[in-house]
Amino acid sequence: MPPVKKALFAAFLTCTLAAGAQEPTTRHFPLPDTVSPELRAMIAEKPPAYWNFHPKNEQEWKDWAARFASAADQYLPQLRGKMDVSVTSEKIGGVPVFTIAPKVVQNADASRILLHFHGGGYVLGAGESGTQEAILMAGLGGFRVISVDYRMPPDFPNPATLDDAMTVYRELLKTTPAEKIGVFGTSTGGGITLALTLRAKAEGLPLPAAIAPGTPWTDLTKTGDSYFVNEGVDNILFSYDGWLGDAARLYAGGKSLKDPLLSPVYGDVHGFPPTLLTSGTRDLFLSNTVRMHLKLREAGVSADLIVFEGMSHAQYYMSADAPEAQFHFSELARFFRKHLK
Amino acid sequence: MPPVKKALFAAFLTCTLAAGAQEPTTRHFPLPDTVSPELRAMIAEKPPAYWNFHPKNEQEWKDWAARFASAADQYLPQLRGKMDVSVTSEKIGGVPVFTIAPKVVQNADASRILLHFHGGGYVLGAGESGTQEAILMAGLGGFRVISVDYRMPPDFPNPATLDDAMTVYRELLKTTPAEKIGVFGTSTGGGITLALTLRAKAEGLPLPAAIAPGTPWTDLTKTGDSYFVNEGVDNILFSYDGWLGDAARLYAGGKSLKDPLLSPVYGDVHGFPPTLLTSGTRDLFLSNTVRMHLKLREAGVSADLIVFEGMSHAQYYMSADAPEAQFHFSELARFFRKHLK
């Protein structure tokens, strides 16, 4: 079991399924032999029972998030060691961030910086628990990464999350030209990456040189074909109709879920920087990803897409040993080196 | 009903389902509202009953193919008129081809040529019935296209098909430098596009400047996750276990189905030219496409991928009016203009 799922599962054990919760209906398929053994092991895992967890109140959200965050302590120290990176906790414009640096940074990358937003449905991933992907990017990709520990609901309703993202980006612009800044993140982090770019554009700020939203949550409503076709297939998210949809509504906080700063697939993406999107054939967010990709290309943006064979949501960063992870972070590194000055 | 499906369905009406044939099990999902009305209408159609047709002998294959070919007469004249292209039947190196030309060719494109291979599982699409995609490329993309009417089984067993492809390519090289030649095709035509490039490389010929295999049949065995996950979802091919798998074995003619010239995903693609691949989220060949894409990128090839929302196999060329078709052929045209001298 990959560390994130293990942590989530451990966190779940102390959770209670909401009364009357629908039982998951897994759709079974043969294990593909067209992926690495590491990915095959992930595909073989049962979907998490917590997919259908429906926190009944704010306290249940917070308790769940806290258990998730503390569970990360089990695997992060080992991962940091393995990736040979240093992690420094600091604040930028008052917003807590983790600066993650590889031991050796190539000369050309010394003045470049990647801004990272973690995933977790706008509720999970607080503190260091959100740094796993950033550690892999620093370790496997060789970049310095600033991972933003943004505020989340229920304590901090919308737009606190995106405000924090913008604060860090604006502060960064004071010392680093936009042409040397790349932005990336997975799932919710991919959504924030896109929303930040929309808002920077609306505010007239220089846009980052390149962005890499991985399987981004571009539509907070249950709109998009793979929400249905890959329901019960994706063994990470499983379905929109569990905690995920609840988290969408919690994050929106009464706003329209189709607001472009919440669901960037509805935004005007003309003028966006080069974009690299990633998904998997079993991913519940496959449509979230390809709809965004098509929209970017229709707007004339240089937008690339990678879809991993047999992969459910975000599994490319769930095992550092999987060749798919090595490939993914190499692709990201190559992409950012191509587009960052 | 799009013309190709209508033709195939008409052809099927005179066919008989093999005794004991398994009934199709359609997996039902809501119609996506994230696609054009034209594509939605295609998604709404029932899968073709002939998916499970198992020709019992060579004559049944030939009769089926002949009915398919003649059915194309119903819609091709109208399509040619609508696209305002001329179609000339000729021979290149003894191989019959159709040269399809738009009324107006931009100056920069005057010396460029696109080589096209039609789809149809190596059994369907003979004669003019295989020209639909080439007509759209000429009409919507503005390129001159040579569509090869290659020989097929059961009359002409392997390697007659690829021999014809190579003959035309070799002849073309005598008058047109490779840097001005692009190659494209869908499904089987995408497989031939890739196999031709592998064989040209093996023979030391200059490679085409760029290739665009659309949802290519890169693995003739039932290997790849979407053969299973999108079985009963894709309403064009529906399943490997009908006529499609039979056609794979018929084409291989006793050779290993994993021979790279039959299943190019097993080939050595180092040194391949820029490649644009296309598929859809419901496509039975989604894995055939993304596996090839990943393999190309791993080999350092500049390979792009487009995955259409909600789309089954090859529907991007089944209705000239669909915005998805307009988008697809614009993308192909842009791609070839970028990479052809």
SS3 labels along A82-109: HHCEEEEEEEECCEEEEEEEECCCCHHH
Q: What is the pLDDT of residue A10?
A: 42
Q: What's the pLDDT tens digit per position in A93-117? A: 999 999 999 999 999 999 999 999 9
Among the partner residues B228, B307, B327, nearest to A29 by beta-carbon distance = B228
Rounded-to-integer distance, Cα B14 and Cα B305, Å: 38
Concatenate the DSSP letters of all residues of B281-339 into one string: TT-TTHHHHHHHHHHHHHTT--EEEEEETT--TTGGGS-TTSHHHHHHHHHHHHHHHHH
The beta-carbon neighbor of B281 closest among A33, A290, A304 is A290
- Alpha carbons A320 and A136: distance in angstroms, whole number: 7
What is the rounded CA–CA span in Å between residue B231 and residue B197? 30
In chain B, which residues have their Cβ closer than 8 Å to the Cβ of A295? none
Sequence-distant (≥ 6) Cβ neighbours of residue B62 within 8 angstroms: B154, B155
Give the mean pLDDT of A55-76: 94
- Region A275-289: what's the mean pLDDT? 98
The single-letter code of the amino acid at B31 is: L
For position A21, what pLDDT does the model report? 40
Rounded mean pLDDT of A205-213? 98
Contacts (Cβ under 8 Å, ≥6 apart) of A39: A308, A310, A311, A315, A319, A322, A323, A324
CA nearest B334 in A: which residue? Answer: A300
Per-residue model confidence (pLDDT) at position B254: 95
* Average confidence (pLDDT) over A214-238: 97
* A303 to chain B: closest CA residue: B304
Q: Which chain A residue shows the shortest CA-CA distance from B287? A: A309
Q: Which amino acid is at A73?
A: D
Contacts of B308 in chain A (CB under 8 A): 290, 294
Q: Which residue from B176, B175, B216, B214 is spatially nearest to B195, judged by alpha carbons?
A: B216
CA pair distance A26, A38, nearest whole angstrom: 21
Q: What is the average pLDDT across A153-175? A: 97
Q: What is the full per-residue pLDDT of chain B (341 aa) written as tens digits?
A: 445 455 444 444 333 333 334 445 888 899 999 999 999 999 999 999 899 999 999 999 999 999 989 988 889 999 999 999 999 999 999 999 999 999 999 999 999 999 999 999 999 999 999 999 999 999 999 999 999 999 999 999 999 999 999 999 999 999 999 999 999 999 999 999 999 999 999 999 999 999 999 999 999 999 999 999 999 999 999 999 999 999 999 999 999 999 999 999 999 999 999 999 999 999 999 999 999 999 999 999 999 999 999 999 999 999 999 999 999 999 999 999 999 99
Whether residue A35 has pLDDT greater than 50: yes
**pLDDT at B18 (0 to 100):** 38
Question: Who's near A258: CB < 8 A, 6+ residues apart?
Answer: A219, A220, A221, A266
Please give the pLDDT value at position B213: 98
pLDDT category at A49 given cuts 50, 70, 90 is confident
C-alpha torsion sign, points A181, A186, A189, A193: positive
Does residue A6 have a pLDDT over 80? no
A305 and B309 in contact by Cβ < 8 A? no
Q: In this complex, how many residue pairs, one in chain A and one in chain B, have their CB atoms less than 8 Å apart?
A: 97
Say yes or no for a CB contact (<8 Å) between A310 and B233: no
Contact between chains at B307 and A290 (C-beta distance less than 8 A): yes
Out of A35, A294, A331, the one facing B309 most closely (by C-beta) is: A294
Q: Where are the alpha helices (DSSP H) in A153-264?
A: 160-175, 188-202, 226-229, 243-252
Residues of B whose CB is below 8 A from A305: 304-307
Q: Which residues pair with A114 in a beta bridge?
A: A145, A182
Best mutation site among B36, B229, B285 for testing chain A: the one with the most A CBs within 10 Å? Answer: B229
What is the predicted pLDDT for the residue at A131? Answer: 98
Q: What is the pLDDT of residue B14?
A: 35
Name the residue with tokens 């198992």.
B54
- Please indicate whether, in this complex, the C-beta atoms of A304 and B304 are within 8 angstroms of each other: yes
CB A200 within 8 A of CB A166: yes
Choose among A301, A244, A266: nearest CA to A64.
Answer: A244
**In a 10 Å sphere around its CB, with 0-12 CB exposed, 13-18 middle and 19+ buried, how is residue A157 labelled?**
middle
- Which residues of A touch chain B, with CB atoms under 8 Å apart? 29-30, 32-35, 223-226, 228-229, 233, 281-282, 286-287, 290-291, 293-294, 297-298, 304-310, 327, 331
Please report where in the chains the tokens 């496997």 appear, as a residue: A140
If interface means Cβ-Cβ distance under 8 Å, which residues of chain B face chain A?
Answer: 29-30, 32-35, 223-226, 228-229, 233, 281-282, 286-287, 290-291, 293-294, 297-298, 304-310, 327, 331
Place of tokens 């996950």: B229
- Give the pLDDT score at B74: 87
> Does A212 have pLDDT greater than 70?
yes
How far apart, in Å, are the Cα atoms of A209 and each of A130, A271, B91, B223, B248? 24, 11, 50, 39, 46
Cα B285 from chain centroid (whole Å): 11
Predicted pLDDT of residue B7: 47
Instruction: From residue A201, give the alpha-carbon distance in Å to each of A185, A237, A273.
Output: 19, 31, 11
Taking the CA of residue A142 and the nearest CA in chain B, the distance in Å comes to 19
Q: A-chain residues within 8 Å CB-CB of B229?
A: 29, 233, 281-282
Contact B29 A229 (CB under 8 A): yes
ipTM above 0.85, yes or no: yes
Query: What is the model's pLDDT at position A18?
Result: 38
Question: A225 and B297: CB-CB below 8 Å?
Answer: no
pLDDT at A273: 98
Confidence (pTM): 0.94
What pLDDT is recorded for position A286?
Answer: 98
At position B7, the amino acid (one-letter code) is: A
Q: Which domains does chain A have, with CATH numbers?
A: 3-20+36-339 (3.40.50.1820)
Spatial CB neighbours of A76, under 8 Å, sequence gap ≥ 6: A128, A129, A131, A132, A135
